[in-house]
Structure 1
């Protein structure tokens, strides 16, 4: 099967097509693998993330269009929040359509002097003027582009927040889905890129074992996931706050209270009452590509797609428990192109700062009207919004207060899951390649953190690898995929024989590259930590008195064991040359040797 990458240099308005070689095909496959590889190879460490030397990547999953719920597309760049290689994901159909157009990924370099958008079709690719849509909200720009290029086109677009370089600006795909985390949208706008439009409908390339064999495997898995996901389809993620509160993992009031026993109106049943049924939704792509459970909930009349992270971070984290207030905030962050997680986190920090008497008249707990005003000020960098647009870490540094209640890891704001309710989850946050992400390994079985995080290390590593493989494949993390399912699909689609061990190497490969990058740009083992808030004893609820780790010493011991298990050096976590060679990352060995000489000369 021929696979191709589009390389687009916006500085020179140059478009090149490059075939995927065997090394890239077999060692990185697609999605997260392609994003990580191209950023590591072509971006400039320590350069201004808003400069032309940053690289923006859009990569379809390896199984995009071939597997149930395979519409998850990777959006990557060096994050303006963290300086790390960042991969963020959005559903819908952009990835499968990119494959239909004949491409597996787009690598965007340089910087346009004028606003542009990229238009990809089966016949070719164009760089077109975006003068008429620059400054538009994401919904307005999407509407214009769909009217221009057809309703069936898939549109990824940035909004005013990105144009104003808010460090957590998102990319919005087809109105509803967000590649929200890490500020990828701000990188697009800094390059003069407003949107990417993909219009294609031709059949995907013939699977290696033929369409009949592929159809049998895909249908079998579709039915399996449909049966397993029937209960999840009722609420989707919208009952997550109820669950998180029961587990003592909710983000109430900027993570002060992981459990309150009451989540107000922010319950799945209340969202479902307002939502359209699956057959009432005109554009079925909102459910993702070939999704067997159709869990997305789109609110009638408003056209707002609600998810748990919205309810948790724009709701509970800011002390807001009225559903309509949160729905209005969702509409605003999507239109402005703001990450809902970072936005809610920053505003929760602001409300707590005001509660402590350090700010006045900016934001109070539960004030939906002030929250909406503040979101606008952040997106347009007005007043204090200009400071909050820098992210919670920088805001606390600029204003000179609040580091103790700034809830982030490596500058990436924390999502709506408090680790003080799950053993090993603090270690997941501390060691995640992008900073505070809840989707980089979920330890199982569920148990409170009453023991050393070492007890959860095996399950953390397993789930981290499994989630990473899903991100390589482009499949939804909420479907019950496991390694044998991906192995079967890779065999029928590409003729590749990948057992579980080989699949897990995909995760270890990208994580080792991301780790090398982090060390190259100045991070150390000291940054593999959790915020002070999560080491405060939980004040009440099922986990009263517990912390993310039983002690700071346990964090140190646990992360060093993590380094060892990954084949990294014991003190600073430098991927060892022998590990890189075993992962076929020979091109990165010299970087590792230089870092070892600098950071752990005694070990080198």
Structure 2
């Protein structure tokens, strides 16, 4: 690999982005055998670096970005076993191409690679298939498994990793299914070599101490991701109910009624996943694993379901089927509301699209199995709009870009890098630019202190913090570029972005841990530069697929207020000092492309930028 990609030092998904650019035939259909799946493990996974558990799945994704195009990107997932086992097998990348004649799964066991018949697993849920694979190959093995949704090529199907995490929002599960690939299983016991153990232990201890000193740690270990509710109730607020009502129906008290225990990824000091158990009602005794509370709360409000237990059951149904719960519930909200408003012509499935919980369950099963209207719903936003005579951009919550619905709405969350990367990242939404600005109200001094540990050039810092009429005190366009590069570093090393969001990450320390583990001396600034190079390969793969500036569009609904019981909510700058207009967005995008060294008219990287990064395009 070093000979094939001599300029790539990060490893992990940085290698995958360069590989996909070299291996993917331009214009190929996502379901074609030639579309490779590249599974990569972060370079620090298998060490004690806090939060180092991440793997990535890279491919051309199944969802339609518009009428014809599909984006190339990566999904990143944590997990308890998969990344750890993959690294211990001495395998940093698995490249899968072609198509099997019958259902199969792939086993990587140290140096051995075998393809097994998966006929007996086909049609089984993600949980049942995972349990059967662990029974056969050992409880310690890591498993990435698709459910019936992936088998049936639902375009927003994903794989479930170790029964707790998801891999592949926007259709990586369907790419598995197109290859008749039920699962990838990994097992290894080689261990991970550390080049400089003393230096490694020093900086791991520093990082651990910072995490242990976090003021919210006890609450996080009590509630998992549910501890983020004080932030979520603002940033993921749909605006249908009052926040007081939302707190009553889905707040901390309700979460504690179903929380069984906290489940962490390997090497995590925080632990955000949970095992839940429904104690009462129709679904009493049902158990699930993952991170259900934010998604169930937002979707419960969107779908007018006031019983949190019912939404947990719907989350479980989606996870077992291997289908993206966020996309499914937003699609349900869109088509059922449109039907009730008379926007869908009579006879075009309108009688099936009524708004009640039992019907949501029925439509979920139909979508997973592509039965009746489910065959339409399985195709995603743009094809559904064409089939039912609807415009996806008229959907009232959060918005979509490149065929993907957003989890956050900038009118509630305000404009910061996580919101911007929904638009600028080649694979929308999951740029995952988690910085301390994910929470509102951070002082400029706090933000500067975080960026100081990332090795940003002084002149870049000045550009970010020079006020502008269109972006306010924080130049979000320029800031987003650097946050995307930092995220490329985290994803390549396999470290979790939540540490950055909570102000627990010090990239200087991460650089020292990386240097100690690999023997490759890198400063934080050099890591960020390598992250920029990696991100650029991902961009180039999408430029080749026809993506340009016109595809980086903010949702129309961000330009009009959200009417909520809390009052009108507007898309505002991070400090809520100005409302962002359409003209402002264009100038913010100009800043972003300028900071990246891309052509402002086309969003294509300039030749001099590629040359400076050592890329021959």
Instruction: Sort the TM-score into its range (normalised by shorter chain).
Output: 0.7 to 0.9
- Which digits, 9 at most, give the CA deviation of each residue in 1:230-276, with x for residues without a partner? 1433323225455333x3x3352xxx659644314222342233222
Answer yes or no: is 1:271 the counterpart of 2:264.
Answer: no
Answer yes or no: is 1:141 the counterpart of 2:126.
Answer: no
Answer yes or no: is 1:459 the counterpart of 2:436.
Answer: no
* Aligned residue runs from structure 1 range 502-541, under 5 A: 502-540=526-564
CA contact (8 A) 1:31 1:60 kept: yes
- Which digits, 9 at most, give the CA deviation of each residue in 1:287-346, with x for residues without a partner? 111211223221135133333442245323323232111110111111100012211221
How has the CA–CA distance of structure 1 residues 452 and 351 changed in structure 2, closer, same or farther, with 3 Å as cutoff? farther
The answer for the alignment partner of 1:319 in structure 2 is: 304
Displacement of 1:56: 0.2
Displacement of 1:390: 0.9
Q: Distance in 2 between matches of 1:106 and 1:277?
A: 33
Q: Could you tell me the TM-score, scaled by structure 2's length?
A: 0.84
Displacement of 1:396: 1.1
Q: Distance in 2 between matches of 1:258 and 1:571?
A: 41
Q: Distance in 2 between matches of 1:25 and 1:288?
A: 32
Q: Distance in 1 between matches of 2:580 and 2:538?
A: 28
The answer for the alignment partner of 1:5 in structure 2 is: none
Q: Distance in 2 between matches of 1:419 and 1:442?
A: 19
2:60 to 78, 84, 92: 78
CA contact (8 A) 2:240 2:301 kept: no
How has the CA–CA distance of structure 1 residues 116 and 266 changed in structure 2, closer, same or farther, with 3 Å as cutoff? same
1:104 to 78, 92, 107: 92
Q: Give SS of 1:236's match.
A: helix
CA contact (8 A) 1:306 1:330 kept: no
How has the CA–CA distance of structure 1 residues 508 and 126 changed in structure 2, closer, same or farther, with 3 Å as cutoff? same
CA contact (8 A) 1:298 1:305 kept: yes
RMSD, aligned CA: 2.6
Greater displacement, 216-225 / 488-497: 216-225
Q: Distance in 1 between matches of 2:138 and 2:276?
A: 24
Displacement of 1:541: 5.9
Q: Distance in 2 between matches of 1:213 and 1:421?
A: 40
The answer for the alignment partner of 1:6 in structure 2 is: none
Q: Give SS of 1:415's match.
A: coil
The answer for the alignment partner of 1:429 in structure 2 is: 422
Q: Distance in 2 between matches of 1:151 and 1:438?
A: 32
The answer for the alignment partner of 1:7 in structure 2 is: none
Answer yes or no: is 1:167 the counterpart of 2:155.
Answer: yes
How has the CA–CA distance of structure 1 residues 438 and 38 changed in structure 2, closer, same or farther, with 3 Å as cutoff? closer
Unmatched 5+ stretches in structure 1: 1-19, 279-285, 589-604
CA contact (8 A) 2:31 2:178 kept: yes
CA contact (8 A) 1:443 1:457 kept: no
- Which digits, 9 at most, give the CA deviation of each residue in 1:152-184, with x for residues without a partner? 111111111011110010011122211141211
Answer yes or no: is 1:339 the counterpart of 2:324.
Answer: yes
1:328 to 292, 313, 321: 313
CA contact (8 A) 1:170 1:185 kept: yes
Aligned length: 553
Q: Could you tell me the TM-score, scaled by structure 1's length?
A: 0.85
- Which digits, 9 at most, give the CA deviation of each residue in 1:370-426, with x for residues without a partner? 222211111111122111111122211221113333431111121144455313455
Q: Distance in 1 between matches of 2:3 and 2:254?
A: 50
CA contact (8 A) 1:313 1:416 kept: no
The answer for the alignment partner of 1:91 in structure 2 is: 78
- Which digits, 9 at most, give the CA deviation of each residue in 1:76-98, with x for residues without a partner? 11111131112112211211211
Q: Distance in 1 between matches of 2:480 and 2:353?
A: 37
* Aligned residue runs from structure 1 range 92-491, under 5 A: 92=79, 93-204=81-192, 206-210=193-197, 212-228=198-214, 230=217, 231-240=219-228, 242-245=230-233, 247=234, 249-252=235-238, 257=240, 260-263=243-246, 264-278=248-262, 286-300=263-277, 301=285, 302-359=287-344, 360-365=350-355, 367-406=356-395, 407-424=399-416, 426-437=419-430, 439-440=432-433, 444=437, 446=440, 452-453=470-471, 455-479=475-499, 480-491=504-515
How has the CA–CA distance of structure 1 residues 30 and 109 changed in structure 2, closer, same or farther, with 3 Å as cutoff? same
How has the CA–CA distance of structure 1 residues 437 and 217 changed in structure 2, closer, same or farther, with 3 Å as cutoff? closer
The answer for the alignment partner of 2:516 in structure 1 is: 492
